[in-house]
């Protein structure tokens, strides 16, 4: 058993990746085979107020061009749409569509199912203890769905 900080960091990253990969596979089985984790981050950023490619790029720590590409993909797949800004009709704002909201809801359900599976594997107390320890380490204000940073690469 390793005691190095690097191994712990990689193990936490692998836990996140395992969770996200399982959710992506399950979403595909439920009819959302065109979604990647970056798309989820983008949709949450839009729901949090990112109204255009510049704002989405800042929220996701990517270039405006990468954000515009993600928007284009999401728009083509029916997860977002552009609509006139209510305050400035010359501007277009991003809006998550009903399909996008349904996918996000389904994703939340899947994450809960994965958590329950993990609880069956190691016990609810162990998962709860892990969650509590991670909250102590990262704090309550640190986790933001609209700022994934390193995880925001654009995938087709």
Higher-pLDDT residue of 125 and 87 is 125
Apex CA 130: angle with CA 26 and CA 148, to 5°?
55
Backbone angles phi, psi at 123, to 5 degrees: 100, 140
Number of other CB atoms surrounding residue 154 within 10 Å: 19
Query: Tens digits of per-residue pLDDT, 54-65?
Result: 999 999 989 999
Strand-pair partners of 100: none
Q: pLDDT value at position 152?
A: 42
Please compute the mean of the pLDDT values over residues 24-46 and round it to a whole number.
Answer: 94
Tokens of 55: 């704002």
Distance separating alpha carbons of residues 89 and 106, to the nearest angstrom: 33
Query: Tens digits of per-residue pLDDT, 138-153?
Result: 887 655 554 444 444 4
Whole-number percent of the chain with pLDDT over 90: 69
Q: pLDDT value at position 1?
A: 72
| 121 — pLDDT class (breaks 50, 70, 90) | very high
13: left (phi over 0), alpha (psi -120 to 50) or beta: alpha
Q: pLDDT value at position 148?
A: 47
Q: pLDDT value at position 85?
A: 82
Q: Which class for 140: exposed (0-12), middle (13-18), buried (19 or more C-beta within 10 A)?
A: exposed
pLDDT surpassing 50 at residue 112: yes
| 137 — pLDDT class (breaks 50, 70, 90) | confident
Q: pLDDT value at position 90?
A: 80
Higher-pLDDT residue of 53 and 156 is 53
Please compute the mean of the pLDDT values over residues 126-140 and round it to a whole number.
Answer: 89
């Amino acid at each position: 058993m390793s005691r190095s900080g690097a191994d712990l960091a990689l193990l936490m990253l692998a836990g996140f990746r395992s969770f996200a990969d399982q959710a992506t596979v399950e979403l595909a089985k439920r009819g959302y085979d065109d979604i990647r984790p970056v798309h989820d981050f983008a949709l949450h950023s839009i729901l949090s107020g990112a109204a255009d490619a510049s704002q989405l790029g800042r929220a996701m720590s990517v270039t405006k061009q990468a954000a515009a590409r993600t928007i284009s993909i999401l728009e083509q797949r029916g997860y977002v749409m552009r609509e006139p800004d209510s305050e400035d009709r010359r501007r277009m704002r991003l809006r998550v569509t009903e399909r996008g909201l349904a996918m996000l809801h389904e994703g939340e359900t899947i994450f809960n199912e994965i958590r329950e599976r993990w609880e069956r594997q190691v016990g609810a107390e162990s998962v709860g203890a892990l969650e509590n320890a991670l909250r102590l380490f990262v704090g309550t204000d640190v986790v933001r769905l609209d700022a994934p940073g390193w995880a925001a690469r654009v995938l087709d």
